[in-house]
Amino acid sequence: MLDLNGRTAYDENHTMFRDTVRRLFERELIPHLDKHEEDGIVGREFWLACGQAGLLCPTVKAEYGGLGLDFGYNAVVAEELAYAGSSAGITLQSDIVVEYIEVYGSEEQRQKYLPKMVAGECITAIAMTEPGTGSDLQAVRTTAARDGDHYVINGSKTYITNGQNADLVIVVAKTDPTKGAKGISLILVDADTPGFSRGRNLDKIGQHSADTSELFFQDMRVPVDNLLGEEGRGFGYLMSQLPQERLSIAISAQASAQRAFDEAVEFTKGRKAFGQTVFDFQNTRFVLADLKAQLQVGWAHVDWALRRHLVGELTTAEASAAKLWHTEMLSRIVDASLQLHGGAGYMNEYPIARFWRDSRVTRIFGGTSEIMKEVISRSI
C-alpha cells in the first residue's frame, strides 16, 4: 500500500476518495490482474464498475454526469492503478481524452459523450501515431477530405491504447495536407461507422493487459459536426494538452517505482542466503538506501508538479521534465529491484517481472525521453 506520510498535494477529501479507489480495486481489479494479462484486454465490467464508483473522469462537471473535482482525484486513481500493477486504459480516458471533449467539444458533443464516458459505457481512444509517424505529428498521413457535409477519412493508425475496446476515437487527420501543422484537425469517430476497422491486438513486450491496436479508415464518411473544435487547429489542441498527459505518465511511473521497491524490500527480507537474509548484506541495504532516496525526491517532485498543475502554472517544459525524470527513474528502480530478486526476478510468477516489463514503454509513449530533452532545451 502506498505510504501517504509527507505528501503535500492532497487534502482529506482526496484521502477519502483514495479509500474508495482502493476498495474498488481490491474487489474488481486485483483478483483479475492475471486474467487481464492473459486475455490482453481489460473487460468492460471493470470499466462499468469504475464508472459506478465515480473513478472515471472525475473532473467532468456535474451537468455532464461527473463529479466536478480537481485533477488531484485523477492523480489518486493513477497512483493506485500503477501501484496495483495494472495497464488498464482508464487513465487515458480520464486524464487525456476527456479533456479534449470538455475543452474543445461542442455542447452537443459534450452531452452525447461525456455522461457515457463518466459511466464507463463509452470507452475512448485517441489515434495519433501512424506506421511511419511517431513523435512528429505534423507528418501524419491520414486525411479527412471535405465532401459536402461530411469528411471522408482515409488512413491508418497504430499503437493505439484502448484500440480494441474503444467506442469512440479522436482521430488526428489532415484536413488540408498543404498546410503542415495548420492543416491538422481532430475528428470524433464512432467505432460503428462504416469504413472503420480494427486490426490485431498488438503483441507487446509488456503492458499485456492494455489493448493496443491498429486502426484503419477506408473511405469512412463522418459528419462535419464530428469535427472537434475548429478545422486546422488540431495541432495546437494537441500541444496545449501535453502538460497534463505527461504529468499523468510521471505520476504513474512514480507509483510503479514505489511498488517495485516495496517488492524488493519484502523479497530480500524473506530470502535466506549464506545463513542470513539477503537484506542483511550491506550491498543490499546500500542499493535499497539509494533507491529509497530517489523515491523520496520523486514523491516531493510529483507533489510539486501536481500543485502547480492544479493552479494552472505547470509549463510544457516542466511537465516534460517530470515525464523524463520519473520514467527514467522508474527504469533504474525496477531493474535494481529485479536484480535483488536474483533468478526469481526473471520468473513471471513474481510481480517484479511484470513491473520490469511494463516500465520500458514509459520512456517511449507520450513522447520519448529524447523528445522530452528537446522540449526542455527550448526553454533554456
Mean pLDDT score across all residues of the chain: 96
214: phi then psi, degrees, rounded to nearest 5: -90, 145
Residues 117 and 139 in one domain: no
Mean pLDDT of 346-363: 97
Last residue of a domain, one of 178, 206, 231: 231
257-269: pLDDT as tens digits: 999 999 999 999 9
245: annotated active-site residue: yes
Tens digit of pLDDT for each residue in 334-351? 999 999 999 999 999 999
Q: Could you report the per-residue pLDDT of 291-315, keeping only the tens digit for each?
A: 999 999 999 999 999 999 999 999 9
* CA atoms of 280 and 271, how far apart (whole Å): 10
What is the mean pLDDT of the segment spanning 113-135? 92
> Do the domain assignments include residue 2?
no
Q: Is residue 85 located within the same domain as residue 211?
A: no
Q: What is the CATH number for 101?
A: 1.10.540.10
pLDDT for the residue 253: 98
Residues 257 and 365 in one domain: yes
Q: Is residue 3 part of a domain?
A: no
If asked whether residues 250 and 274 sit together in one domain, one would say: yes
Read off the pLDDT of residues 53-88 as tens digits, 9 standing for 90 and up. Answer: 999 999 999 999 999 999 999 999 999 999 999 999
CB 357 within 8 A of CB 206: yes
Shared domain for 84 and 130, answered yes or no, is no
167 in a structural domain: yes
309 in the same domain as 249? yes
User: Per-residue pLDDT tens for 317-334?
Assistant: 999 999 999 999 999 999
Q: What is the pLDDT of residue 366?
A: 92
Boundary residue ending a domain (122, 144, 179) = 122
For residue 316, the domain's CATH number is 1.20.140.10
Q: What is the pLDDT of residues 273-285, one digit of tens each?
A: 899 999 999 999 9
Nearest residue to 321 (alpha-carbon basis) of 338, 337, 308: 308
251 shares its domain with 364: yes
Where does a domain end: 94, 122, 150? Answer: 122
Alpha helix ranges (H) inside the chain? 12-28, 33-39, 44-53, 71-84, 90-91, 98-104, 107-119, 234-240, 242-270, 282-310, 316-341, 351-359, 369-377
> Considering the domain boundaries, does residue 1 fall inside one?
no
Mean pLDDT over 163-191 rounds to 96
What is the pLDDT confidence band of residue 117, given thresholds at 50, 70 and 90? Answer: very high
236, part of any domain: no
Cα–Cα nearest to 47, from 121, 126, 124, 125:
121
Which residues form the domain of 301?
Answer: 241-377
Whether 362 and 262 share a structural domain: yes
The DSSP result for 65-124, as a single string, is: TS----HHHHHHHHHHHHHHT---THHIIIIIIHHHHHHH--HHHHHHHHHHHHHTSS-E
226 plus 246 within the same structural domain: no
Catalytic residue among 28, 245, 263, 318: 245
Query: Residue 1 has what pLDDT?
Result: 87
pTM (two decimals)? 0.95
Residues 249 and 371 placed together within one structural domain of the fold: yes
The pLDDT of residue 91 is: 97
Quote the number of domains for the chain: 3
Q: Binning pLDDT at 50, 70 and 90, where does residue 134 land?
A: low
146/161 same-domain check: yes
pLDDT score of 136 more than 80: no
